[in-house]
Amino acid sequence: MSQINVSERTLGVNFTPAGEAIIRVWAPKAQKVAVALPDNITLPLQAEEFGYWSAKTYQLEPGDTYQFILDDDKKLPDPASLSQPEGVHGPSQALATKDFAWTDTAWKNIPLEEYILYELHTGTFTPEGTFAALEEKLDYLIKLGVNAIEIMPVAQFPGSRNWGYDGVFPYAVQDSYGGAAGLQHLVDVCHQKGIAVILDVVYNHLGPEGNYLGEYGHYFTDKYNTPWGPALNFDDAWCDGVRQYFAENLLMWFRDFHIDAVRMDAVHAIKDFSPNHMLREMKQLVNQLMQETGRTHYMIVELDLNDTRFINPLEEQGYGMDAQWIDEFHHALRVTATGENTGYYADFSGIQHLAKTYQDAYVYDGQYSPHRNKTFGIKAENNPGEQFVVFSQNHDQVGNRMLGERTSTLTTYEMQKLLAAAVIVSPYLPMLWMGEEYSEPNPFLYFVSHTDPELAEAVRKGRKAEFAAFHAEGEAPDPVAEDTFNQSKLQWDLINQEPHQTMFKWYQTLLKLRKELPALRNLNRQNLEVETLEEHKTLVLRRWHENQQIVCFLNFSKGTQTVPVPKPAKVWTKVLDSSNPEWKGPMAAPETLEAGNTISLCPESFALYVNE
């Protein structure tokens, strides 16, 4: 295992308790390295082993800006900069992040199986688009019933408008959001209120503009390609410095920012054939950190490989990731609800596949995938329910549509209630996408604010080409226009209006039931049976825990369906029913059901019954 020190950051600028700055950079491509300090002072760095350079000085203080000078020529920002107050091309700013006055010593991370996730984008979540404005909304989220916020990436990107996946300074927190201190304050406040914080991190690529890493060292390799250009170098010559750079970054979020969990973007694009995969090494280091601090941290991955090696424990030679997103649940649910079948949706049959993902997590676990033209996936039999995160929409599934439509504008009000229920009653971790809880009609579009005109134009063209595959008609909104960003903001005034208020209460009620009913709260995938009535486009889901059983009826069809009431319980008592007029439905379902009888389900409806 690597020699990384989990207790402190070694890259960039760090300050000793006496106020001395320790400067260290990995620049194996340079013959000489110096640092440009305030007052026109230039300080040479000493060469160390393996391409590292370092210096110590009292002439750099927290708040000062600095740049590295490579080979007496180029003045560049620090690859491990903590702050870029003048943007991605400007100088770096030294910060003493360790000096933050935390008040969360009593905080204990929520057990993973209790996580109820809420994904949000800082820039569009509030009118102000800052961490401070986000803090003002935490009580609202508590009222809703979520206990973990998942923040889309905050690594410094060009301009002030970006989803976050074009970050080029993995250590620097976006200045327009509130910078490092703003994020630390947000996490501290979240912990005071009992909310866990998940940070989305990107370790598979860097954005194009302001990406100076290649000038310093062998950060990229031509051995592999990713959809975003050359792959990061995790297993080729000189990879040790790259591995250390990203491992220290992950440890920094957990240790110095008290982040509770990370969501790691598209880990299938982390190309690594080392005997100890980068993710596995990260997990080993995080385990070491947790032993030292007594705090708990989770690693959740976005993965489209249906490969349990990523989420299996280290002792079984897995990579030890705590959980993964399952897009296949979303795809099966989306196809069931809307009948869409273009692009990757072509692989999903609808209700049969939805039933399969309730049962098996993965839809493809060894079958032939027509979209991929190959047999795909492996069975996830021994992985507990809390290892899978499910959703009816997320930033990708909304924002990667040409017009960024949410399900609120693609489906009926009744179907939206049904989609929410389908996610929340699953034996997995539910995740909501900001605004869905009150049926936000605004789109979430793709937006950037690149300052390089050629790059901006390339993004526009690329965006158009992307939708050719989905046979989308019309024009893609201009990703560079500020209006595209503003259109994507949530409309908070809608929450007190109908029908948005009722939708919010519906979500609130579902989340409350998920916490209160043992049969829903316990994520034992074995205690589950699912039956599909394909011709009725209806699914009957039964879950149980000890002496409590629940049955959920999900009618995805546009017609009334009569379906048999399942045994073994003799009498089922209604707990919740989306077709009830109190939820703006057409007609309430019966209060009780007897096994062997039938129930008549309203179109696009959900009903939950319990038997103690």
The answer to whether residue 522 sits within a structural domain is no
In whole angstroms, give the CA distance from residue 154 to residue 167.
Answer: 8
pTM, two decimal places: 0.97
pLDDT in the model for residue 470: 62
Q: Quick one: 484 and 406 in the same domain?
A: yes
- Residues that constitute the known binding site: 263-268, 327-331, 395-400
Say whether 367 sits in a helix, a strand or coil.
strand
Query: In this structure, are 188 and 76 located in the same domain?
Result: no
Q: Report pLDDT digits (tens) over 131-190.
A: 999 999 999 999 999 999 999 999 999 999 999 999 999 999 999 999 999 999 999 999
Structure confidence by residue, pLDDT tens digits, 92-109: 999 999 999 999 999 999
Q: Is 38 exposed, middle or buried (0-12, 13-18, 19+ CB in 10 A)?
A: middle
- Asked if residue 83 lies in contact with residue 397, where contact means CB atoms within 8 angstroms, the answer is no
Q: Are residues 80 and 145 in the same domain?
A: no
* pLDDT of res. 1: 42
Are 61 and 136 part of one and the same domain? no
What's the CA gap between 168 and 284, in Å, rounded? Answer: 26
From 478, 508, 538, the end of a domain falls on 508
Give the per-residue pLDDT at 469. 63
Could you say which DSSP state residue 494 is in?
Answer: G
Q: Residues 254, 368: one domain?
A: yes
Domain encompassing residue 593 = 529-611
Host H or E run for residue 26: strand 21-26
Residues 92 and 122 in one domain: no
Out of 65, 96, 127, a domain closes at: 96
In sequence order, what are the residues at sequence separation of 6 or more whose Cβ sits closer than 8 angstroms to the Cβ of residue 17?
none
pLDDT of the residue at 229: 79
Please report the pLDDT score of residue 471 as a whole number: 58
| CATH number of the domain that residue 66 is part of | 2.60.40.10
Q: Are residues 202 and 233 located together in one domain of the fold?
A: yes
Residues 248, 302, 440, 604: which is the catalytic one?
302
From 43, 63, 96, the end of a domain falls on: 96
> How many domains does one find in the chain?
3
Return the DSSP state at 110: P
| Residue 7 within any structural domain of the chain | no
Residues in the chain, pLDDT under 70 = 1-2, 469-472
89/236 same-domain check: no
Binding residues for substrate: 263-268, 327-331, 395-400
Using H for helix, E for strand and C for coil, what is the string for 29-76? Answer: CCCCEEEEECCCEEEECEECHHHEEEEEECCCCCCCEEEEEECCCEEE
Catalytic one of 236, 248, 265, 405: 265
* Pair (504, 533) in one structural domain: no
Cβ-based neighbours of 291, under 8 Å, separated by 6 or more: none
- Pairwise CA distance, residues 48 & 175, whole Å: 32
Is 513 domain-assigned?
Answer: no
Cα–Cα distance, 30 to 92 (Å, whole number): 19
CATH number of 259's domain:
3.20.20.80
Catalytic, 71? Answer no
User: 113, 523 in Cβ contact below 8 A?
Assistant: yes
Q: Is residue 107 part of a domain?
A: no
Residue written as token pair 């390295």: 33
Residues 71 and 147 in one domain: no
**Domain match, 231 and 376 both:** yes
One domain for residues 83 and 161: no
**CA-CA-CA-CA torsion sign (154, 159, 165, 171):** negative
| Active-site residue, 265 included | yes
Write the CATH number for 551.
2.60.40.1180
Cβ atoms < 10 Å from Cβ of 313: 14
Q: What is the DSSP string of 199-251?
A: EEE--S---STT--HHHHS--EEEEEEETTEEEE-SSSTTHHHHHHHHHHHHH
Strand partners, 607: 553, 577
